[in-house]
């Protein structure tokens, strides 16, 4: 029996909308995999022969310069699609931030299946267009916002995206959540250093805008203030 049928992201991932028999075919070429926190799924510059759907967990997409500077260029949550179909190979690594479960396909298999199923390609197109929108608004942040605005924007986005994922079906953004990022990783998302991130966090805490119950937890105490700071 198809494992797709019981998949938790069944209705949100790009496979949504496929017929029962199509799903069986897709299921035949894919396989489930777990990735432990810190483990790589795709390495920068290997001609990544994998694509995947995220079932559970959070993964980062990163690019690096030769001298070791890193930039996180995307974050994949459950139901998100990972990898670069159709011939091209993009220079980004994919690394799990939390333990994760993914549904992987060989790129060739996926390419072939996609071309034969326009409905799937359409879903992938919509998802890619949304991701491009999100990425472009992140360019604004990277190019034009200062450290305080970056941190505020980041916290607001986290509270929204983690809520979408959460068990409780989207009763607005979460006011309290566990960051899937270390301080260094937050820095790599925002184009800052770990020290600047730390200082901005404590500043927001001292001003009563947020609370930091533990290293990885954040509670938003004054959302309007945070929105004002985000610019």
Interface residue list for a copy of itself (CB under 8 A): 61, 63, 65-67, 69-71, 73-74, 84-86, 88, 90-92, 115, 118, 121-122, 124-126, 128-133, 135-140, 142-145, 190-191, 231
| SS3 of residue 12 by DSSP | coil
Q: How far is it, in rounded angstroms, from Cα 210 to Cα 11?
A: 34
Asked if 211 interacts with DNA (CB under 7 A), we say no
Closest contact distance (angstroms) between CB of 125 and a copy of itself is 5
Asked if 197 interacts with DNA (CB under 7 A), we say yes
- Nearest to a copy of itself of 48, 177 (CB atom): 48
Token pair belonging to 172:
């607005």
Q: How many CB atoms lie within 10 A of CB 14?
A: 24
Side-by-side strand order, sheet with 210-211: 176-178, 217-220, 210-211
Contact 229/148 with Cβ under 8 angstroms?
yes
Asked if 202 interacts with DNA (CB under 7 A), we say yes
Segments in 117-182 forming alpha helices (H)? 118-144, 147-165
Asked if 128 interacts with DNA (CB under 7 A), we say no
The conformation of residue 4, written as its DSSP 8-state character, comes to: G
Closest contact distance (angstroms) between CB of 147 and DNA is 4
Contact partner, 142, from a copy of itself, DNA, none, Cβ < 5-8 Å per class: a copy of itself
Q: How many CB atoms lie within 10 A of CB 25?
A: 16
Closest contact distance (angstroms) between CB of 134 and a copy of itself is 10
Closest contact distance (angstroms) between CB of 213 and a copy of itself is 29
Longest alpha-carbon distance in the chain: 57
Give the position of tokens 């894919």: 30
From candidates 56, 98, 198, 231, binder to DNA by CB under 7 A? 198
From candidates 25, 147, 178, 225, binder to DNA by CB under 7 A? 147
Binding site for DNA (CB under 7 A): 146-148, 182-184, 191-199, 201-202, 212, 214-216
């Amino acid at each position: 029996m198809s494992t797709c049928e019981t998949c938790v992201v069944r209705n949100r991932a790009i496979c949504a909308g496929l017929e029962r028999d199509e799903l069986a075919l897709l299921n035949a070429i894919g396989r489930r995999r777990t990735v432990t926190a810190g483990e790589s799924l795709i390495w920068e510059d290997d001609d990544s022969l994998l694509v995947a759907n995220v079932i559970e967990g959070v993964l980062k997409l990163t690019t690096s310069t030769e001298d070791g500077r890193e930039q996180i260029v995307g974050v994949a949550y459950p139901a998100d699609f990972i990898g670069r179909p159709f011939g091209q190979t993009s220079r980004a690594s994919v690394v799990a931030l939390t333990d994760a479960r993914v549904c992987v396909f060989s790129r060739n298999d996926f390419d072939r299946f996609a071309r034969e199923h326009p409905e799937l390609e359409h879903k992938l197109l919509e998802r890619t267009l949304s991701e491009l929108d999100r990425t472009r608004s992140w360019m604004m942040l990277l190019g034009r916002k200062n450290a305080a605005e970056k941190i505020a924007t980041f916290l607001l986005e986290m509270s929204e995206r983690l809520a979408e994922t959460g068990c409780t079906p989207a009763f607005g953004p979460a006011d309290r959540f566990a960051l899937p990022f270390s301080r260094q990783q937050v820095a790599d998302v925002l184009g800052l250093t770990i020290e600047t991130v730390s200082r901005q966090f404590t500043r927001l805490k001292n001003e009563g805008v947020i609370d930091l119950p533990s290293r990885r937890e954040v509670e938003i105490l004054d959302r309007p203030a945070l929105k004002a700071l985000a610019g």
